[in-house]
Structure 1
Amino acid sequence: MTAAGFYGDDFTGSVDALVQFRRAGCDGVLVTSADGVKGALGGDPDVVGIAGVARSLPTAELEAEVRPALVLLRDLRVPVVQYKACSTADSSPSVGSLGRVLEIARDVFGPATVPALFAQPDFGRYTVFGHHFARDGERVYRLDRQPTMSTHPVTPMTESDLARHLGAQTALPVGSLPWTAYEAGADAVARFWQESDDAAVVCDGFTDEHLELIGRAVLAGDSPFVLGAGGLSLGIGRALGRAATPPPTSTTPSPGPTLVLSGSGSPRTAAQVVAAERAGWTTVHLLTPGAVDEAVALHAAGDDVVVHTTRPATPGTGTATSSEIEERLARIGAACLARDPRTRLIVCGGDTSGNVLRRLGADSLAVAALPWGNVALCHASGAPFDRPVEVVLKGGQQGHDDLFDDVRTARPRRL
């Protein structure tokens, strides 16, 4: 029987949630629209996920994107439904508003207090006394001082107190629960939520034990809806106590060329592009004239190609909207897959990955292997594909510098 479901507000985060449930012993399937959920349940997975794009949407558009997914999971009587958000709580009153999500969920599931957990220690995300911290390289920063998130072009983080951050996005009251309350146990935490007058409670977390306690409290509590990152998925998954075989931690080299389609502008992705160049890959800046045809031709010649937008290329580099970038990347991907279905894809950018995969016609994703930490090799299926496509979805802040070449050669992560 399916024990949990989730809606992910971007595709890379959705894959992360699926990975965390798999690590906890739950089998699962991820679909790219609510239309695929009923078919996915036919296999009786422990967990079913819907990969969405809400993180990038204006607040006025969240209703149409989020409500149908939550209503469907509620009506299918999935016992626990997670809104899977980014572990840096990416959101604002105007874009990807988690406050608006809380309002929609309250209408769908009722007024029970919503547990919210954004901590994910294995990814360097920690919440202590309500304040959130995020690793960047070898250092851990308070969220509003983390180099990438504090200067994010769409949702810059100016507040580390997550209750205040969420509270600025809704009129609903948002509180917090410190880790010092966890000594009383999971049942006591569940009672705290049940007795709270807050619409949501941000929970501390900086160890796996904290995640597991919150997971047990969720199952003991009365809220069918929870909000949080992959750490919450792991905690719930472990509390469920399933025993599915975890994904393998090794794979084989790419059977064909490897193609990177990147709409990410993060410093981490930029470093990965540079590392790929040094390893002998051919790089093409998407915003240079003729980039689409050039990338397709290089792939046809057998090159491993990185198509990117990470830094200025030449004085002739143009500009494009996010939608135009995604359309061009999808056009390159479709042409290359049509020529050689063995191509291993790497799609970079939390927002980019979802829109590119939807344009390519992918309707479901399954985790095939976990050789690179939290970065998974997946199999994408869909009507346009004669065979599952090997694909890695990489968020802007994910992965080590040599990730692209390690995905190509199947080298495991080098610590």
Structure 2
Amino acid sequence: MLIGVIADDFTGASDIANTLANGQDGLVTTQYLGVPEDAAGAEVEAGVISLKSRSIPVADAVASSLAALHWLKAQGCRQIVFKYCSTFDSTPAGNIGPVAEALADALGVKGVVACPSFPAMRRTLYQGHLFVGDRLLTESGMQHHPLTPMTDADLRRWLRLQTDSEVGHVPAPVVGEGAEAIGAALRACAERGETLVIVDAVTDEDLLRIGQACADAPLLTGGSGIALGLGGNLIARGLAGGGRTRFEGVAGTEAILAGSCSGRTRSQVDAHARKHPTMAVAVEDLLDGRTSPDDLVAFIEANHGEAPLVYSSAAPEDVLAAQTRYGREAVSDRLEGLFAETAGRLVDGGVSRVVVAGGETSGAVAQGLDLGGLTIGPEISPGVPVLVSEKRGVALALKSGNFGGADFFTRALEALAGEGAVHE
């Protein structure tokens, strides 16, 4: 294994695994759910460890990330990537800064790139500020995120709240000069003692330049775009052969579970409901015991073959009201537990194609299914690949809330069956 990735949630892990496996210089890539107990296969060139560490206590996030680092180094990894969301989901007391610093300290490095930019999904970084399309992050809807509301688009300032050292910055004009200039700027940041460095990136070409500048960097951090050029670096040096796993499709019954409250997912739910059976889960019904996994399983099984969807997606004001009444953690834990148990029972009962929307929901479902190592299949839409668990005989699509087009759910089910409809 040459590249090791530590991802702070499951959809983010799938996102960067897709970049590494399906890019122009694709590597043989496997996604692991948690830190594996056994060694990786000899054929694996890039390994992605999916953690569920985005919203847990800082000390726990650091400990699990260091455990992942230890396993990846034992597999021979030359380069480590800490993957977080392209919308930098993290509170001022959050985990991105502490985990990144802990990894940097463990590897003995400073001047480490921090770049969540993902132009394919219209996330760009300019003058240290994160944009979604033509809007600052704080005007994109992320300011209403139920777990990690982003209320400042200046990532230097936001990250500084989480870290012990000053945060550096490599501005867009320097990035535009190319890999040599970027490398010199990063070394200057390291000499000033700046552990983490926000690096502007507006285009994929910027990310490729950053990747070239960091060909020998022990550690990078960012969104999935930060991995765009890493496979090419290894192939050009003759260290990796690359190659993609052939995917024939998985037949059988299907289920769609949506736990994201993002505007994109709610629009996808509305579009799906016009042609397919859907079931809404009200938080108050779940918390008061009127809704259980029995109800969700019965609905899915009664609608096999019709792309049934169960969702708890709600508008920001409804989410806030539920959190105020029951407590944020209680709402989150019960919803995740509901979807995890439902998915487990469905797969045990023979469902073989599962689509999940929402990072926290995907993490809960994946952990509950005991999937083993996941093979990376073709790209369904930017940032979302087909995932195949040979251990359970199931194909999955784990989607971040803001990813995918209006008809994502039906396209994903088609892609899991090997019917094409790949890449929007």
Query: 1:80 Cα deviation (Å)?
Result: 0.7
Query: 1:395 Cα deviation (Å)?
Result: 0.7
The equivalent residue for 1:395 is: 400
SS in 1 for 2:82: strand
Query: 1:239 Cα deviation (Å)?
Result: 2.7
SS in 1 for 2:242: coil
CA-based RMSD: 2.4
* CA contact 1:93–1:99 (8 Å) conserved in 2: no
Query: 1:339 Cα deviation (Å)?
Result: 1.8
The runs of 5 or more residues in structure 1 that have no matched partner are none
The equivalent residue for 1:190 is: 183
* CA contact 1:8–1:14 (8 Å) conserved in 2: yes
The equivalent residue for 1:293 is: 294
For 1:211 and 1:75, the matched residues in 2 are separated by 28
Query: 1:200 Cα deviation (Å)?
Result: 1.3
Query: 1:291 Cα deviation (Å)?
Result: 4.4
* CA contact 1:8–1:51 (8 Å) conserved in 2: yes
Query: 1:391 Cα deviation (Å)?
Result: 0.6
The equivalent residue for 2:39 is: 39
Give structure 1 regions of 4+ aligned residues with deviation exceeding 4 angstroms.
317-320
Matching of residue 170 in structure 1 with residue 163 in structure 2: yes
Matched residue type, 1:123: M
Deviations along 1:91-132, whole A, 9 cap, x unmatched?
A: 12333x211113311321113321112111111111112211
Deviations along 1:196-247, whole A, 9 cap, x unmatched?
A: 2211111111111111111111114xx4111111110112223333553446
Matching of residue 328 in structure 1 with residue 346 in structure 2: no
Change (3 A) 1:413 1:30: closer
Change (3 A) 1:182 1:269: closer
Query: 1:76 Cα deviation (Å)?
Result: 3.9
Matched residue type, 1:239: N
* CA contact 1:6–1:83 (8 Å) conserved in 2: yes
The equivalent residue for 1:91 is: 90
Matched residue type, 2:185: F
* CA contact 1:59–1:93 (8 Å) conserved in 2: no
Matching of residue 306 in structure 1 with residue 305 in structure 2: no
Change (3 A) 1:3 1:83: same
With 69-78 and 26-35 compared, the bigger mean Cα shift is at 69-78
The equivalent residue for 1:232 is: 226
Structure 1-normalised TM-score?
Answer: 0.87
For 2:295 and 2:398, the matched residues in 1 are separated by 23
Query: 1:414 Cα deviation (Å)?
Result: 8.5
1:257-272 alignment runs, 5 A limit: 257-272=253-268
The runs of 5 or more residues in structure 2 that have no matched partner are none
1:118 to 98, 116, 125: 116
Matching of residue 366 in structure 1 with residue 346 in structure 2: no
The equivalent residue for 1:344 is: 353
For 1:243 and 1:154, the matched residues in 2 are separated by 41
SS in 1 for 2:86: coil
Deviations along 1:163-221, whole A, 9 cap, x unmatched?
A: 1111111121111101211354313322322232211111111111111111111114x
Identity of aligned residues (%): 29
Matched residue type, 1:15: S
Matched residue type, 1:376: P
* CA contact 1:277–1:283 (8 Å) conserved in 2: no
Alignment size in residue pairs:
394
